[in-house]
């Protein structure tokens, strides 16, 4: 596989994993603190989506540098590649959010 495809796969799973991991750990913290874990997990998942995207992209500055290079040096291919990376990271974060939302809905139907 090409490195571009490999990086896209990494971006998806990194942003997905950030949402999933942070939400699950927040749920554990909520249990310890005596708060509702499902509500806490859902709240955290929604509030950290942008951070999951930034983590998947390896920080925001490199993305802006690539976009700047594409705009000012006419490297359209690099802009398209970076846009694909951003879109895949957003998709990964949203799939993670949807997964946490599914857990919440299943928990509500079982417990509530």
What pLDDT shows up at residue 99? 95
User: Which has the higher per-residue pLDDT, 5 or 63?
Assistant: 5
Find all residues with CB under 8 Å of 28, minimum gap 6, and list them: 37
Local confidence band at 52 (pLDDT 50, 70, 90 cut-offs): very high
- pLDDT of 59 over the 70 cut: no
So what's the pLDDT on residue 69?
72
Alpha-carbon distances, residue 6 vs 29, 33, 93 (angstroms)? 34, 40, 18
Whether 1 has a pLDDT exceeding 70, the answer reads no
Q: Which domain holds residue 21?
A: 3-111
Q: Compute the distance between CA of residue 31 and CA of residue 33 in angstroms, rounded to an integer.
A: 5
How many structural domains is the chain composed of?
A: 1
pLDDT value at 60 more than 60 = no
Q: What is the mean pLDDT of residues 14-42?
A: 96
The residue with greater pLDDT, 47 or 82, is 47
């Amino acid at each position: 596989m090409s490195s571009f495809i490999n990086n896209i796969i990494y971006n998806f799973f990194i942003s997905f994993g950030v949402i999933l991991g942070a939400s699950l750990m927040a749920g554990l913290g909520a249990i310890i603190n005596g708060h509702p874990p499902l509500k806490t997990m859902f709240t955290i998942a929604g509030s950290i989506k942008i951070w999951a995207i930034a983590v998947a992209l390896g920080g925001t500055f490199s993305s802006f540098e690539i976009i700047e290079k594409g705009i000012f040096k006419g490297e359209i291919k690099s802009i398209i590649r970076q846009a694909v990376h951003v879109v895949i990271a957003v998709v990964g974060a949203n799939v993670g959010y949807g997964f946490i939302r599914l857990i919440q809905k299943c928990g509500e139907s079982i417990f509530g």
